[in-house]
């Protein structure tokens, strides 16, 4: 295919393929780590589903980009035939149906990972579970809303065959569509909202760890690297707004690489969700790579999914309850016990996590202390 020398279509292809390839690599590394420790959890399954849809989305987008001549100046593009418009809208619909489920599956994976950490503070517990159900409801509702934005559904792409123009307006009594501009902006806004809500939870979980304030900020920043995805969502919202409400200077809409933002966003989301597993693998392969006390404290608490079990005993006065804190990963250095103050059920608790070195020293009798704050 001969392209104009100033075409941006090669850049569009390169961006799409590079981001999809990087996310594929990181998911592969994550699964390799799970193979090494012989563990596979729901959060891993969810991220695999998101990755599979992201690969499909990349292929669908590239087909759409070719059909609609993305990357070319609009004045260099021949007027498309009705059949070409119909074909392009079919692929556009496929993109819309794939985008939101990918992000929601990534968020579901992150939430399941955080739930597996076993933080039993009431606010954290209910926040995580409420967000999980809200996220799943958002995924299902937006999927069907996108599918039925025109009724009957096939008229989303077939309307070109029966459209008529009267007084400069397209008229067709054979179908109805709701306001697509409002729909796309509202769904983009909800995606940003759920991003922010989910990203706030790790910060809240970290804040009561007994480590220096400087380290709290550092660890919270690592755990909240997903803010990159939220920022991309905001940029994408602006691109959508400009698409639906163009300014007088926006006279070349096809000559932009910003159309790749949806693909960038979903793949970066997958990459960031693989972060904890990648760090755990790096620690396993190069034990001294993350050897500082504050870092190993974070590893002990955050790189494994712990599960609270029933209490195993109380003191004579009933003041303390010792509860087994069983790891979902059966590696020996993650076994621990938790000591809770049964006289308090408030959320104001501080957590002191053992270092990896301390855990390894006594493999089956480590202690994780929680005291009333």
Let me know if residue 2 belongs to a domain.
no
Residues 320 and 241 in one domain: no
Let me know if residue 267 belongs to a domain.
yes
Residues 236 and 322 in one domain: no
Let me know if residue 159 belongs to a domain.
yes
Let me know if residue 290 belongs to a domain.
no
Question: Do residues 267 and 20 touch, judged by C-beta distance below 8 A?
Answer: yes
> What b-and-e string marks burial along 41-61, b requiring 16 or more CB atoms within 10 Å of the CB?
bebbebbbbbbebbbebbebb
Residues 342 and 258 in one domain: no
Question: Do residues 91 and 67 touch, judged by C-beta distance below 8 A?
Answer: yes
Question: Do residues 116 and 305 touch, judged by C-beta distance below 8 A?
Answer: yes
Q: What is the pLDDT of residue 231?
A: 92
CA-to-CA separations, 196 to 101, 225, 239, in angstroms, rounded: 17, 12, 19
Q: What angle do CA 167, 172, 175 make, to 5 degrees?
A: 150
Q: What is the pLDDT of residue 224?
A: 67
Residues 232 and 135 in one domain: yes
Question: Do residues 173 and 152 touch, judged by C-beta distance below 8 A?
Answer: no
Its domain, for residue 359, covers 304-372
DSSP SS3 for 368: strand
Let me know if residue 329 belongs to a domain.
yes
Instruction: Report the domain count for the chain.
Output: 2
Let me know if residue 308 belongs to a domain.
yes
Residues 207 and 320 in one domain: no
Question: Do residues 89 and 156 touch, judged by C-beta distance below 8 A?
Answer: yes
List the CATH number of the domain containing 122. Answer: 1.20.1070
DSSP SS3 for 130: helix
Helix axes 227-244, 261-273, angle to 10 degrees: 170
pLDDT along the chain (373 residues), means of 10: 74 97 94 88 95 98 96 91 96 96 95 85 89 95 95 95 85 89 91 88 73 68 76 91 78 88 94 79 65 47 39 36 35 35 40 35 35 36
Residues 252 and 321 in one domain: no
349-352 sheet: strands from edge to edge: 306-314, 320-327, 336-341, 367-372, 349-352
Q: What is the pLDDT of residue 294?
A: 45
DSSP SS3 for 61: helix
Return the half-sphere exposure (C-beta side, CA atoms, 13 A cut-off) of residue 104: 21
Q: What is the pLDDT of residue 301?
A: 44
Q: What is the pLDDT of residue 285?
A: 73
Residues 75 and 184 in one domain: yes
């Amino acid at each position: 295919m001969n392209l104009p020398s100033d075409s941006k279509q090669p850049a569009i292809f390169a961006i799409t393929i590079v981001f999809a390839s990087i996310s594929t690599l990181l998911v592969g590394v994550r699964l390799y780590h799970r193979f090494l420790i012989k563990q596979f959890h729901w959060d891993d399954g969810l991220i695999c589903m998101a990755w599979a849809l992201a690969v499909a989305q990349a292929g669908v987008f590239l087909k759409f980009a070719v059909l609609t001549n993305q990357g070319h100046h609009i004045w260099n593009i021949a007027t498309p035939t009705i059949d070409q418009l119909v074909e392009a809208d079919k692929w556009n619909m496929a993109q819309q149906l794939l985008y939101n489920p990918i992000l929601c599956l990534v968020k579901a994976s992150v939430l399941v990972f955080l739930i597996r950490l076993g933080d039993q503070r009431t606010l954290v517990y209910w926040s995580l579970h409420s967000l999980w159900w809200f996220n799943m409801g958002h995924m299902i509702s937006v999927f069907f809303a996108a599918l039925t934005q025109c009724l009957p559904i096939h008229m989303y792409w077939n309307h070109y065959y029966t459209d008529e123009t009267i007084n400069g307006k397209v008229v067709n009594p054979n179908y109805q569509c709701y306001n697509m501009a409002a729909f796309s902006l509202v769904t983009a806004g909800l995606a940003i909202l759920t991003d922010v809500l989910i990203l706030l939870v790790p910060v809240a979980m970290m804040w009561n760890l007994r480590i220096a304030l400087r380290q709290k900020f550092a660890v919270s920043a690592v755990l909240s690297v997903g803010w990159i995805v939220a920022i991309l969502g905001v940029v994408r919202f602006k691109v959508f707004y400009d698409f639906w409400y163009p300014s007088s200077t926006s006279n070349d809409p096809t000559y932009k690489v910003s159309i790749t933002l949806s693909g960038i966003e979903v793949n970066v989301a997958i990459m960031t969700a693989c972060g904890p597993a990648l760090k755990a693998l790096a620690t396993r392969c190069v034990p001294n790579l993350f050897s500082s006390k504050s870092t190993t404290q974070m590893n002990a608490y955050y790189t494994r999914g712990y599960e609270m079990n029933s209490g195993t005993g109380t003191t004579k006065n009933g003041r303390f309850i010792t509860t087994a804190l069983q790891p979902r990963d059966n590696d020996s250095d993650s076994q621990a016990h938790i000591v809770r103050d049964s006289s308090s059920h408030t959320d104001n608790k501080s957590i002191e996590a053992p270092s990896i070195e301390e855990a390894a020293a006594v493999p089956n009798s480590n202690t994780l202390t929680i005291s009333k704050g």
